Structure 1
Amino acid sequence: MTVLRLEHIGIVVDDLAAATAFFVALGLEVDGETSVEGGLVDRINGLEGVRADVVMLRTADGGPQLELAKYRSPSYEGDDAPAPANAPGIRHILFVVDDIEASLASLRAHGGELVGELVSYENSYRLCYVRGPAGIIVELAEKIS
């Protein structure tokens, strides 16, 4: 068995418009939008009565996509507190950017909050974590020349 490629990463959000604007501000492009529902969608999700809106985003290089989904039903009744960076599960997505200061400023204009600090890591990258909509943590990395 061989994995052929990573196709997309899916993130469930509570405010699809805000999450889309956040990632567009980072430089991703909307590749498509749709709504999904029906028996097959229920079976894939293991839920009943699924109705969701989906936005697909892509980077300029055409690599794997980012899927943002807002479930209109069924509702989720869990804890919505943002998890810390060391909580088990998917915690962040890293994007390599050409100007980390500009990227950080753009994300802050869309509600992004710096998690820790912007640091230089071993003279190879400038790095930081930014928390965005739905508690999503985005790591920004700029190669130090």
Structure 2
Amino acid sequence: MNFTNLRLDHIGIRVTDLAMAEAFYARLGFQRDPEEFAPAARACGLKHPTGLRIHLIYNGEAAQAGNVLLDAPVKYPGYTHAAFIIDSMDELVAWLHREQIPISEGPLVMGHGRRNVCFIRDPDRNVLEFNEILDRAATSAGV
């Protein structure tokens, strides 16, 4: 098997309330894909104009508090977050403030100066990471 053409098809995100989650992700530009709506499976596909897809799996039970993978003292295996690339961290932060979406961490430079990172949570406290890819040469030169 040759994986040279391996690409990401979608990210599955478990949620408790489809309408609430769909409204939140619509604010990020995602819209329902009728071909990916499967009520029997309690799954709803959303598509972004860039082609990025997420599947909302709406069979979650509300956690007492926080995200069971990240916020609980015991660390169970599982996906902890989805990470997206953006053009401008300043624009994202301004938009998050206007939309009254709290920032859970950041912005901060990570990856040895490769990216400026900001984290938010969806209504079910699933973690979303946004990355502005930095020019390493400019970053190391203090530009």
Question: Which range, TM-score by smaller chain?
Answer: 0.5 to 0.7
1:70 is matched with 58
SS of 1:117's equivalent in the other structure is strand
1:136 correspondence with 2:120: no
Please, which of 5, 26, 29 is the counterpart of residue 28 of structure 2?
26
Cα-Cα RMSD: 3.0
- Specify every segment of 5 or more residues in structure 2 that has no aligned partner in the other structure, as ranges: 136-143
1:93 Cα shift? 0.2
SS of 2:58's equivalent in the other structure is strand
Please, which of 94, 97, 103 is the counterpart of residue 92 of structure 2?
103
Which structure has more relative contact order (CA 8 Å, sep 6+)? It is 1
Conserved in 2, the CA contact under 8 Å of 1:18 and 1:110?
no
Conserved in 1, the CA contact under 8 Å of 2:86 and 2:131?
yes
Identity within the alignment, %: 27
SS of 2:32's equivalent in the other structure is strand
- Specify every segment of 5 or more residues in structure 1 that has no aligned partner in the other structure, as ranges: 42-51
- CA distance in 1 between counterparts of 2:99 and 2:44 reads 17
Conserved in 2, the CA contact under 8 Å of 1:25 and 1:107?
no
1:60 correspondence with 2:62: no
Counterpart code for 2:118: C
The TM-score with structure 2 as length reference comes to: 0.66
